[in-house]
Amino acid sequence: MKLTVLGCSGGIGSGRHTTCLMVDDDVLIDVGTGVTTLDFDALRRIDHVFLTHAHLDHILGLPLLLDSVGEQRDTPVTVHALPEVLAVLETHLFNWQLWPDFLKIPSPEAPWLRFEPLKHGQECVLGERRFHPVPVDHVVPACGYHLAARGGSLVFSGDTTRSEAFIAALNAIPDLRHLIIETSFENALADVARASRHHWPVSLAAEMASLQVRPKIWITHLKPGNEAAIMQELRTALPGWDIDALEQQQTVFL
């Protein structure tokens, strides 16, 4: 399994793109502005999308993806997410007001988009790849994803603050090789992070203290302009950990 980072920033500007990870060449995890780095043929190959939550920086590329390639495909793009996340998309995005309802275009019998609810405890199997939602703590309904393949496991947190349920899920994965986890703000902005339920270096260090496995840690969702400061504080707070910032166009193999 190959994971390609199309976008991993907490904002835009100066070449930064928001969250979008591609698994092999047919699956996306979140559809932020990073999806715009794909050419048309690559966009057309996307069959499945897994969403962590419905915030704009994680879903804004989805309606444009469908609009661009829908008529070129023989099957709908399948979006997997928590039922609460899919309800937000249906009510507030694909509603004919903000965007056309591709759940019914060109017809309800043959749409360009289909929803597949994925609840905690369920598994989605695509070939030899297995996708499991994992619990996180954000200001809206959200989940992370555990990706399991022959080469081991990877977990992507999506947006979250400290969560005992998330750590328990990680500790139950003995072959966890890679952890992609957000840290959005530096320590001086801890109050902002608490209010928006994001991590800051001290909070992530406290969470990692309960981790019983030692994966490679990749930091994502760094706020633009603060990346270097956040990473410096993380290395101070987490001495001895193998930790680096995730980078656009980076690849991770399992």
Q: What is the pLDDT of residue 238?
A: 98
Reported pTM: 0.98
Asked whether the beta carbons of 118 and 124 are under 8 A apart, the reply is yes
Q: Tell me, what's the pLDDT at 165?
A: 98
pLDDT in tens, 118-166: 999 999 999 999 999 999 999 999 999 999 999 999 999 999 999 999 9
Token pair belonging to 158: 């999506």
Confidence class of residue 15 from pLDDT cuts 50, 70 and 90?
very high
pLDDT digits (tens, 9 = 90+) for 94-109: 999 999 999 999 999 9
List pLDDT tens digits, range 52-76. Answer: 999 999 999 999 999 999 999 999 9
Contact 159, 183 (CB under 8 A): no
The single-letter DSSP state of residue 139 is: S
CATH topology of domain 2-253: Metallo-beta-lactamase; Chain A (3.60.15)
Mean pLDDT, range 38-55, rounded to an integer: 98
Q: What is the DSSP string of 143-210?
A: EEEEEEETTEEEEE--S----HHHHHHHHT-TTEEEEEEE--S-GGGHHHHHHHT---HHHHHHHHTT
Rg (CA), the chain: 18
- 254: nearest Cα among 160, 180, 159: 180
At 140 the pLDDT is 98
Q: Residues of the chain with pLDDT > 90: what percent?
A: 100
Residue 70's nearest CA partner among 31, 113, 28, 116 is: 113
Write down the pLDDT at residue 93. Answer: 98
SS3 99: strand
- pLDDT-derived band of residue 187, with 50, 70 and 90 as boundaries? very high
Q: What is the pLDDT of residue 55?
A: 98
**Beta strands of the chain (E only): which ranges?**
2-7, 20-23, 27-29, 48-50, 77-81, 113-117, 124-126, 129-135, 143-149, 152-156, 176-182, 216-220, 243-245, 251-253
Give the pLDDT of residue 185: 98
Main-chain dihedrals φ then ψ at residue 174, nearest 5 degrees: -65, -25
> No. of H helices and E strands in the chain?
8, 14
